[in-house]
Each structure stands twice: as structure tokens, then as C-alpha cells.
Amino acid sequence: MRILPDFLIVGAQKCGTSSLYRNLVRHPSIVPAFVKEVHFFDNSRNYFQKGVGWYKAHFPSLLYKYYITHICKNDFITGEASPFYLFHPHALRRISELLPEVKIIVILRNPVDRAYSHYHHEVEKGRETLSFEDAVRMEEERLRGEFDKLMADEKYTSLNYSCYAYLLRGIYVDQLKRVYSYFEKSQVLILKSEDFFKDSQSTIDKVFQFLGLPGWQMEHFKKANVGSYQKMNSATRNRLLNYFEPHNHKLYEYLGINFGWDK
């Protein structure tokens, strides 16, 4: 007796998904899921095996939707935001099979900044003890064979693939190709994180239009999960800018958008 989501924010991690979701659900026509990150379609917590009924339990009831739409005469949509969906190799296929008409929202950030924020997130969680430079250097070794194991066994979970892919998560073009292999372009909205935090209302308006909702003015923008840490070493930053340059160029060509991530 519960509904499935109308939209999903699928990532990328540490690009502003929490801030985007928490401000979106302030719209009077958007009802949030009972938790922001359900993680049903990825294997990070083995929820997919619990079935669709378990997933539906995180969303409003059909009766509540009927009351809002027929009695209150108001629009009604719901959704969730799990940033691992974009990166997990099975998540988007699973989403397309259960929710073929769902709207997909992707927010992307300069991959150098994303990697550094991701690293400090893992340090804060107690899962990372290496320096940032060593963590980046060890990434290939830490991830070796994990993708193949994930592809071979859909029930396999990988802490390393989830936590230590600082650089790999920032190669967005490969992840977006997976998105578009399962969903039509009209179902996908790509946002730039830097634009979102520079002009939040304009970005939010784009999302409302994409979701088919009337405009709504935010009174106060609420920024979530604000981190505080030292500035990245300039030599390290330059190395990573050079590392991501060819990957970003492929992304710009693929989308026809230049995000300007060269600084």
C-alpha cells in the first residue's frame, strides 16, 4: 500500500547530494522518503535482497498520496538520494528494471575536490588512516579485482570499492554512459555542483522544472555536511588536475558541456 519514488538523486558522492535533496524536499509538493539514503539498489548494506516491499516501506502510502492529490488538490511526488547508485555497477540496471519511468538526477563536482572531500569523509568515519597522497597512491592496489568480483556476484559487497575509490569515482564519463544505457536523455538531469552552491535557487528551479513542479522560492538555503579541513597541497592538486584532464575532456565531449574543471 505504499508508492515507489518518482525521482532519484544517484550521485555523485561528496558533490552536494545531501544539500540538494534536503532543499528540494522543502517544496510543498515533494514528500521525502523516510530516510534520505535508502541504498536499496546498491549492495553496500545488502538491502536489495530484502525485496521491493522493503523498499516501498520507505515511502509514503497510497492513501496519503490520494489525500494530497484528490482532497487537497496539490501535486505530489517523492524520491530519495543514494549517491552510491551512480558508481555501483548493478544499481542503474536494477533501477531501470523496477522504475523504468523514474527521473534521474546527477550532480557532479570537480573530481579533484570531490576526491579530497571523499578522503576526509573516510578519515572522519575512521575507515582511512593513510595520508591523502598515500591513499591515492594505494588506490589501484586496494581496488584490484573488486570490480570483477562485483560483476561476477551481485550479492558481493566491497568495502574497498565503496570507500577507497577516490579517483575512480571522479571518472564521471564512464558512469554517465551507464546511466544513458538504461535511461532516455529526457529522464536524466545533469547538474554542476559549483553552480548549485554559487546560485542555489537557479539550480533548484531547474530541478523543479525537470520534475514538472511549479516554481518555489527558497527562503533560506540549507547547506548539509559541511566539512572543514586543510587546503590540499598545491603539488598534489596539480598532479590530480593533470590526471583528470583527459577524463574530463572525454566527459565534456560526451555531454557537450565544458564544466571548466581545470583549476
The full DSSP string for 53-84 is: HHHHTTS-BHHHHHIIIIIS----EEEEE-TT
Asked whether the beta carbons of 201 and 218 are under 8 A apart, the reply is yes
What residues does 31 pair with on adjacent strands?
78
- Please check whether residue 164 is in contact with residue 141, taking contact to mean a CB–CB distance below 8 angstroms: no
Closest CA to 107 of 22, 212, 181: 22
223, three cell numbers: 547547506
How far apart CA 2 and CA 213 sit, in angstroms, is 22
| Residue 215 resides in a domain | yes
Q: How far apart are CA 136 and CA 115, in angstroms?
A: 9
Closest CA to 119 of 177, 65, 168, 165: 165
**Does residue 37 lie in a domain region?**
yes
Evaluate whether residue 262 is within a structural domain: no
We report the CATH number of the domain holding residue 136 as: 3.40.50.300
Residue 249 in any domain: the answer is yes
What is the per-residue pLDDT for 263? Answer: 76
Chunked into runs of 10 residues, the chain (263 residues) has average pLDDT values of 96 96 94 95 91 97 94 95 97 98 98 98 97 98 97 95 98 98 98 96 96 88 75 97 98 97 87
Task: Return phi, psi of residue 124, to 5°.
Answer: -60, -35
Radius of gyration of the chain (CA): 19
β-strand pairing of 30-32 with 77-81: parallel
CA–CA gap between residue 204 and residue 214 (Å, rounded): 11
- Structural domain includes residue 2: no
In a domain, 1, yes or no: no
The C-alpha atoms of residue 4 and residue 56 are separated, in whole angstroms, by 6
* Residues in contact with 156: Cβ distance below 8 Å, sequence separation at least 6, in sequence order: 43, 149, 150
Q: Which residues of 135-148 are buried (b: 16+ CB within 10 A; e: fewer)?
A: bbeebeebbeebee
CA-to-CA distance for 197 and 40, rounded, in angstroms?
28
The tally of domains found in the chain comes to 1
β-pair partners for 67: none
Q: How far apart are CA 61 and CA 164, in angstroms?
A: 37
Residue 159 lies in a domain: yes
Is 260 inside any structural domain?
A: no
Domain range for 124: 7-255
Q: Tell me, what's the pLDDT at 150?
A: 96
